[in-house]
């Protein structure tokens, strides 16, 4: 997969089948668009591409909003490549770009620079200044500018439309398995292992403190069953998000106890895939009660069917 941050760098002998949008999470709804894109590209000998924005436009329109994303930029690249997209366009949502009308965007960018021959959009997608671009505009312009346009239907699970917002809400509520079902893969968080207070090792549960990217959405405070990737190997783990109230902690931390693992992994990057919610954050009466709960969480983690 080729990645472009400037449209002018893109050249191809073949026209392009393209979809555009934020694709935050690259969930099953997005996957249906990508699958259709690849099918159209194969049947018509077209390049395939996805045009998305970085940073998220909401950071531009609402700079004070505390928006957290389902994907970091590296995670989004990984998923797009995994799903066999040929070209990924990462457009900065700057002042010049945000002031393009929907029609200007189609004429100047999609047709003028990217030579789009087939365009696929989601069921609720709009674009351009004041959301002036939509499926109706694309249908109108497609005849004049000689491209085809297709609008995908929403993908449903349990009679509910899948959306990035619904997945965020599920994760924030601790409904991990529901979120994973909509994503089509386990929600994950990666980060560098940093030094913590090292209290865990004194009670038989040494944890790795993970420093995550600030834009990445974290599930609600509590304990989780996770799958941990360390140095390319997978392990079971029990992860805590919280402030460690039993020992009067104040700073929010992400800590994981890795079952059947020993070793120094400070300054290394690890990935945790969330599999199930265990319980909310608890302030125990003392260390003994904390250890009892950790023992029970370890038993549940060991017996969990991955």
Q: How far apart are CA 231 and CA 16, in angstroms?
A: 38
Q: What is the largest CA-CA distance in the chain?
A: 74
What confidence score (pLDDT) does residue 129 get?
84
pTM for the model stands at 0.93
- The answer to whether 51 touches 2, Cβ cutoff 8 Å, is no
Q: What pairing do the DSSP bridges indicate for beta strands 148-151 and 2-4?
A: unpaired
In the chain, CATH 2.40.30.30 covers: 186-303
In the chain, CATH 3.40.50.620 covers: 2-161
Q: How far apart are CA 75 and CA 220, in angstroms?
A: 21
Question: Would you state the structure tokens that stand for residue 14, as one six-digit string?
Answer: 């073949």
CA end-to-end span of the chain: 31
Question: Would you state the structure tokens that stand for residue 210, as one six-digit string?
Answer: 């993970």
Per-residue pLDDT of the chain (306 residues; tens, 9 = 90+): 999 999 999 999 899 999 999 999 999 999 999 999 999 999 999 999 999 988 887 777 777 888 899 999 999 999 999 999 999 999 888 878 888 999 999 999 999 999 999 999 988 888 888 888 889 999 999 999 999 999 998 888 877 899 999 999 999 999 999 999 999 999 999 999 999 887 888 898 999 999 999 999 999 999 999 999 999 999 999 999 999 888 777 789 999 999 999 999 999 999 999 999 999 999 888 899 999 999 999 999 999 998
Q: Residue 242 forms beta bridges with which residues?
A: 253
Q: How far apart are CA 14 and CA 184, in angstroms?
A: 31
Indicate the CATH number for domain 186-303.
2.40.30.30
Indicate the CATH number for domain 2-161.
3.40.50.620
Q: How far apart are CA 86 and CA 89, in angstroms?
A: 10
What confidence score (pLDDT) does residue 126 get?
86
């Amino acid at each position: 997969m080729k990645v472009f941050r400037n449209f002018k760098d893109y050249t191809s002998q073949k026209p392009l089948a393209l979809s555009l949008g934020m694709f935050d999470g690259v969930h099953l709804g997005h996957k249906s668009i990508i699958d259709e894109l690849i099918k159209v590209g194969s049947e018509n000998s077209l390049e395939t591409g996805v045009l998305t924005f970085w940073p998220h436009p909401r950071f531009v329109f609402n700079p004070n909003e505390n928006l957290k994303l389902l994907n970091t930029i590296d995670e989004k690249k990984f998923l797009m490549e995994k799903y066999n997209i040929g070209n990924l366009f990462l457009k900065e949502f700057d002042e010049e770009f945000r002031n393009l009308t929907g029609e200007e965007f189609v004429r100047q960018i999609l047709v003028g620079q990217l030579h789009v021959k087939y365009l696929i959009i989601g069921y609720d997608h709009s674009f351009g200044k004041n959301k002036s671009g939509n499926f109706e505009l694309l249908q109108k312009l497609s005849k004049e500018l000689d491209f085809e346009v297709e609008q995908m239907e929403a993908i449903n699970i349990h009679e509910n439309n899948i959306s990035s917002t619904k997945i965020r809400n599920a994760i924030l509520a601790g409904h991990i398995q529901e979120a994973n079902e909509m994503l089509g893969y386990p929600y994950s968080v990666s980060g560098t292992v940093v030094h913590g207070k090292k209290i865990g090792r004194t009670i038989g549960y040494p944890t790795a403190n993970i420093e995550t990217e600030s834009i990445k959405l974290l599930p609600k405070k509590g304990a989780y069953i996770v799958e941990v990737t360390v140095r390319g190997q997978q392990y079971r783990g029990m992860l805590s998000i919280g402030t460690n109230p039993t020992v009067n902690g104040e700073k929010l931390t992400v800590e994981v106890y890795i079952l059947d693992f020993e070793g120094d992994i400070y300054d290394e990057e690890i990935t945790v895939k969330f599999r199930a919610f265990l319980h909310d954050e608890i302030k125990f009466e003392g260390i003994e009660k904390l250890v009892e709960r950790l023992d029970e969480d370890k038993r549940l983690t060991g017996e969990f069917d991955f």
